[in-house]
Amino acid sequence: MHRRPATVAIVTTTPRLTLRHFHPEDAEAIFAYLAHPASVRFEPYGMPSRADCDAIAAERANDDRFIAICREDGALVGNVYLAPEGPPAWATWQIGYVLGPEYWGHGYASEAVREVLREAFESLHAHRVIARCNPVNVRSWRLLERVGMRREAHMLQAASFASHPDGTPIWHDSYHYAILDSDPRP
Ligand SMILES: CC(C)(COP(=O)(O)OP(=O)(O)OC[C@H]1O[C@@H](n2cnc3c(N)ncnc32)[C@H](O)[C@@H]1OP(=O)(O)O)[C@@H](O)C(=O)NCCC(=O)NCCS
């Protein structure tokens, strides 16, 4: 039987990156990567203000689900998110990620996600890690396939992060990806 730890607590390095916990002092850096329309286009939240980022940094400093991605030069380029999914006995985690648009196209997200998957399977003894994304978010599902995750489902009209003027939901489809502890990881 797999057992899932209560917290993530990932602090690690990769060839080009350091993955660490957030600090309250990260507010300016969070604003710099998150306050772009492209960063939040497929997220359930909107662009944060600078003041919102003070609160976000303070919250994340006490929330191990959010893992800051830092480059060798110290730039905080984005975050990975790793959260428990379902009952602890299922040993299942959901992964997510956001990078500032100026940091796309360098392989940083793949490098960070690969390392978090390695930690999830080797340190947290995950059985299954899942991810969901809008099919229109091609960069996101290409990343998921690059790191060895398998598309298991195309869910129709499975999520809504916005409404029509009359209040009815604007539905979008959702791809569901997963990787198992028994799968090969590139
Ligand atoms: C999803 C997201 C993280 C993907 O970022 P990304 O930079 O495309 O992903 P990767 O880190 O895998 O980088 C891959 C790209 O870097 C390039 N690259 C350059 N140098 C590289 C290197 N040394 N190693 C690997 N790839 C490299 C690859 O060729 C590829 O480029 P391409 O897309 O033009 O083919 C980014 O688009 C994002 O933050 N979006 C907003 C938030 C979001 O939508 N999150 C997901 C919600 S479901």
CATH number (domain holding residue 51): 3.40.630.30
pLDDT tens-place string over residues 126-173: 999 999 999 999 999 999 999 999 999 999 999 999 999 999 999 999
pLDDT at 185: 76
Q: Which domain holds residue 34?
A: 12-180
Ligand 1 atom closest to 137 (CA): 44
Residue 6 located in a structural domain:
no
Residue 63 located in a structural domain:
yes
Q: Which of 67, 141, 143 to mutate to test the pocket of ligand 1 (most atoms within 8 A of CB)?
A: 143
Residue 158 located in a structural domain:
yes
In the chain, the number of structural domains is 1
Ligand 1 atom closest to 103 (CA): 7
Tell me: pLDDT of 91 over 60: yes
Q: 74 near 25, Cβ under 8 Å?
A: no
Residue 53: strand, helix, or coil: helix
Instruction: Output the CA 142–ligand 1 centroid distance in Å.
Output: 8
The model's confidence at residue 7, banded by pLDDT at 50, 70 and 90, is low
Residue 2 located in a structural domain:
no
pLDDT tens-place string over residues 60-87: 999 999 999 999 999 999 999 999 999 9
The model's confidence at residue 9, banded by pLDDT at 50, 70 and 90, is low
Q: Which of 99, 108, 145 to mutate to test the pocket of ligand 1 (most atoms within 8 A of CB)?
A: 99
* Closest to 98 in 3D by CA, of 106, 88, 109: 109
Query: Is the C-beta atom of 113 inside 6 A of ligand 1?
Result: no
Mean pLDDT score of the chain:
94
